[in-house]
Structure 1
């Protein structure tokens, strides 16, 4: 998965304003207590980060985006 695909999915799930907040502010245990932005900056694979988002927000992420 490319970063552009990742951000398109994140925006689709959360909307443009909230997606930016989720990426910058929400600490995900699945990412070792990092935010999405920090994990990306650390070089974490995008598909690993997306899986963490899917796990953390299972009720929000539709099956077609998993």
Structure 2
């Protein structure tokens, strides 16, 4: 997953304003008590950050990939 794809999913699944706020403000235990933005800034893979953010928000796997039916869901690592 590229950074662009991460941000596209944030906007599509979480809503641009709310989602970007969550990326900046929500502390996620799975990311070492960092926000998603801090984890990205620290070099974590966007795929890892996306899954951790979705887990923290209780977003089911089927809903994580947005409204594009052709978007491939990257597996967890």
Q: TM-score range by the shorter chain?
A: 0.7 to 0.9
- Do residues 15 (structure 1) and 1 (structure 2) align? no
Compute the RMSD of aligned alpha carbons.
1.6
* TM superposition score normalised by structure 2: 0.74
Deviations 1:24-43 (A, max 9, x none): 10000110000011001100
* TM superposition score normalised by structure 1: 0.85
Unpaired runs of 5+ residues, structure 1, are none
Structure 1 residue 62: Cα displacement: 5.6
Which structure's residues are more often strand, by fraction?
Answer: 2
Q: How many residue pairs align between the two structures?
A: 65
Which structure has the greater CA radius of gyration? 2
Unpaired runs of 5+ residues, structure 2, are 66-72
